[in-house]
Structure 1
Amino acid sequence: MANHRLTTLTWIFTEKFGLILLSMITFVAYARLLSPAELGVGTVIIAIVELIGLVYSSVLEDPLVRLERLEDKHISTAYWAAVLVSLASIGVISGAVMLYTPDPVLQWMTVVASLKILFTMMARVYVAQMRRSSNFRMLASRTLLGKVAGGVGGIAVALWGLGAWAVIAQALIMELVSIIVLMRADPRRIPFHIDGPILRELLRSGAPVAINALSSQTLQRGVNVVLGITAGANAVGMFNMAMRIIELPRTAIYNGLLSYALPAFSRRSAEPKRLIGIIGDSTAVSGFLLTPLFIGIALTANDLILLIFGAKWAEAIPLLQVLACTAAIGNSAMYATTALVAVNRSHLTIKAEVLTTALALALVYTLGNLYGGMAAAGALLARMLVITPLQIRGLNTAIGYSWRGFFEASYRSVIASLVMAATVLVVLPQLGLQGYLHLIGSIVIGALSYAVGYSVMHPHWPQEFKSVFTSR
């Protein structure tokens, strides 16, 4: 059992980190082959399409994963409902873009890009089944194959001088290859049948998840838009530089852990005590790894920015520090939304998600002109400080997850990370290191002091963390 779980997690993280590496390669290629305007047009079109697909996916996929028993009628209902709503969306998008712009190139780009919604939605039932069966090897394989094919296709289109079509080609090829791989792995014929009561139940269960996902995506995209309106392009550039450094590791690690967590939590949804136990254990293990990582990024922000990206990005240093601390705080409740989905109580935090997103955007709008990128970083920190206790309160209402359990799962990693920060700030200046040696010294001293601090508080942590994979 332990080996199976470790193998599952290995495939999850192979997928997530592989995607990041491939994304970096294609982004560098596009930066050289496309103009900023071409890259911007393609990115905006795909972002709109992906936002629509994300909302639909959230409505169907997670409810399918958490079902106690997945039957053929659930699969056929979800699949054909997804196909029909995708085709309708393509029609609406096509009509809207014809009215919005007279430019035939933009019209065709948007219409073609909207096909991505269909490919994405067709994959939902296959992905849900594989998540339920922990077949993350196939999920990783299809995503990586799609990403490689999409990257090669997109770069080829860019080399042919077709500009923004490269971004659209990459996205479409990736999704098309992904759905082909999934269908070949599960070559069943899905009969055309939509069961009304089942569809209503899926929509009822998935609507809160979709609203939460929409709130999150609105926050990520809205902050940049509002910051650009109030503070200008330079502030947006600095903020995105800092945000990119945080998002690359966080996206890979969080998405990997949460992909594994939902089916694991769902299997224990009828046993609150066991569910509370695995949430606490998972939070402790994740915090052990992630809290010092983000605090470490805050400590080394100066070296990371100046040594790797250059002095022109110096304004991003304090933004990176604030965003890293925000991510560290978020570790303490990173499983809250997933756990609420597992017990079908995600509606408990919908208002909090929407209101805190509105609060963050309002702060950026109000303070962006005065503080630039720091207004956006500060707004995200303020939102995190508000939403975290509200998420824990939602968990408490849903399954009885107590504040004591919340603190017990997180306090060791937080204290050890603060010890690490204090040690680095006190010891490192005494060594007189410069440049990359200063960065390496920070990492080594930080890692050693964190390991010692955590081990003093919890000497038997290796055995306890191993038990996470062998019990409950």
Structure 2
Amino acid sequence: MATVPASPAPGARGAVFWSTVNGGASVLLPFIVFALFARLMSPADLSLAMVAVAMLELLKVIGPQGVYDVVLAYPEEDRRHYRTAGALFLLGGIVTAMVFAGAVLASGRFLDHPLPPVLLILIGKVVFDYAILQPQAILVRRGAMRRLGSRGLAAGVVAGAIGLGVALVATPMTGLAIYYVAQSFVLFAMTAMGTGAWLAPAFDATAAREMASQATRASGVRLSAGVSNYFDQILLSAMAAPAQVGPYNLGKRLEVVVITMSSSFSQLLFQPTFARAGHDERLHLVARGLSTITLICGLPVALFAAFHRDLVPLLFGPQWRAAAGVVALLAVNGFIRALGGVAGALMTVTQRNGRLLALSAFAAVSNMALIALFAAWGVIWAAAAIVLRNLMQTIATLALTSELAGHVPALLIRRVLLPIAVTTAVALGAEAVARLLVSDPVPLVRLAIIAISGALGGVAGLLIVRRQM
């Protein structure tokens, strides 16, 4: 059996750092901006905007995005495959933009409330999101983590300033749509311009055939994930009024925040690392991946869930107080799915997209069935059922990965459950002690208690996870 170093090499630590910067900037800044928009908009208006974004993202993954996962395995010098990938991405972006425009204009036929035409602005996001994939693949191959990491920070600052400015002088919905487009444009500009990574699209039939089989399966995996991320919001919107669906939309936003963070690690760190590693190394690398996701996503989610009754109205405004339970459940759901994504990243780069596709398709279909079954009882019941289903799916995905055979229970207990349990116990214990000392704190004191208790819990969890990295 190959010997695996106990800790990451300096290069690996740098990759983790810049993946964290990219994921954090791609998640935290947009989350802050989104929270500001949530304060400016009513639950009904925000729900309509989020349905449009969900529709866009769902249509986007119907296209050939799986080509990215396949072309990543080719060296940069193989220009035929990268130019062909660029051509497929260009076609996917144009077709998706046209279909999205038609869906917005015809939304009154399949939704209780039609989408405002101003949301057609989001067409620009489709185009730039597809255009970024080809140059991003080359930068990932180069290991250009500094460039990939800094782009999210720049996009968040620039797009946030533009979108919020428009919201103040025009309407919040217009500002939100422009914010999404500006964010995608800045990400594309910093990925493609001045890097030499963008190649003029040129379709090569032979290269396309060589990628077709695995790319089709990988696209199916992305489609299934997109259905799990977004179609439930559209389904609920067809079954209930926007104001009723608003809490679920808000919770899905937090879930997607966690998934986006973990996807950054999958694309920039896990996939290239697993692709280079031998079979005997992968158990250790997956274990480290689980610890990384627990540290970056799990500990914050655990603290958020522990204090969700206070944090939801604090972050999004008092009009969202009733949404606290649903938001907390869906944030936990995002973390559970992120853990399964570690095994998914391994399968994607080791020619097991067929198995991953079957698992992802089952997840998408069963989630929709649970929505249809439990929605009549209330969105919180639907959210709870989905969390339980995804927990079982994550355990099954890890167990079906041959490199982890026999190790899954120990990995989950040591790398996930232990740090999460310690973090939560310390945070809630500290809060209980504070309540004994201050029986009825004013809001600012209550906020300080939560901040200090959360910090103590986070440090306790960090000390455990740090020894595992």
Q: Into which bin does the TM-score normalised by the smaller protein fall?
A: 0.7 to 0.9
* Residue in 1 that maps onto 2:144: 135
After superposition, the CA RMSD in angstroms is 3.8
Kept in 2, the 8 Å contact 1:52–1:117? The answer is no
Question: Which among 425, 431, 443 is matched to residue 454 of structure 2?
Answer: 443
- Determine the structure 2 residue equivalent to 1:4: 11
Alignment partners' CA distance in 2, 1:421 and 1:46? 33
Partner residue of 2:397 out of 377, 391, 394: 391
2:222 aligns to what?
A: 213
How far apart, CA to CA, are the structure 1 residues paired with 2:91 and 2:319? 49
Aligned to 1:71: 78
What is the alpha-carbon distance in structure 2 between the residues aligned to residue 38 and residue 233 of structure 1? 8
Q: Does residue 394 of structure 2 align to residue 375 of structure 1?
A: no
Structure 1 length normalisation: TM-score? Answer: 0.78
Gaps of 5+ in 2: 1-7, 110-114, 439-445
* 1:203 and 2:212 are equivalent in the alignment: yes
Give the whole-Å Cα distance in 2 for the aligned partners of 1:151 and 1:307.
20
Question: Which of 163, 179, 186 is the matching residue for 2:188?
Answer: 179
Q: Which runs of 5+ in 1 are unaligned?
A: 456-460, 466-472
User: What TM-score does the superposition give when structure 2 sets the normalisation length?
Assistant: 0.79
Matches within 5 A, 1:341-360: 341-360=348-367
Match of 1:236 among 226, 239, 245: 245
Q: Map Cα deviations across residues 249-273 of structure 1 (whole Å, 9 max, x no partner).
A: x2464133223111111112xx211
**Are 2:271 and 2:346, in contact at CA under 8 Å, matched by a contact in 1?**
yes
- SS of 2:143's partner is coil
What SS does structure 2 have at the residue aligned with 1:185? Answer: coil
Distance 1:31 1:448, change over 3 A: closer
Residue identity over aligned pairs, in percent, reads 19
1:319 pairs with 2:326: yes
Rounded to whole Å, the distance in 1 between the matches of 2:418 and 2:56 is 43
1:401 to 404, 419, 422: 404
- Per-residue CA deviation, residues 131-170 of structure 1 (Å, 9 max, x unaligned), is 1111122223444434444344434544553775544433
User: Cα–Cα, structure 1 residues 284 and 211, in superposed 2: closer, same or farther, change >3 Å?
Assistant: same
C-alpha separation between the residues in 2 aligned to 1:450 and 1:189? 41
Q: Which residue of 1 aligns with 2:343?
A: 336
Q: Structure 1 residue aligned with 2:87, among 80, 90, 94?
A: 80
Match of 1:114 among 105, 119, 123: 123
Deviates more, 1:64-73 or 1:308-317: 308-317
> Of the candidates 191, 203, 219, which is equivalent to residue 194 of structure 1?
203
Q: Distance in 2 between matches of 1:194 and 1:113?
A: 27
Q: 1:207 to 1:342 in 2, by over 3 A?
A: same
Aligned pairs, number = 447
- CA radius of gyration, larger in: 1
In structure 2, what residue type is equivalent to 1:84? L
- Contact map agreement 1:77 1:195 (CA 8 A) in 2: yes
1:142/1:95 CA distance change after superposition, 3 Å = same
Give the conservation status (yes or no) of the 8 Å contact 2:47–2:242.
Answer: no
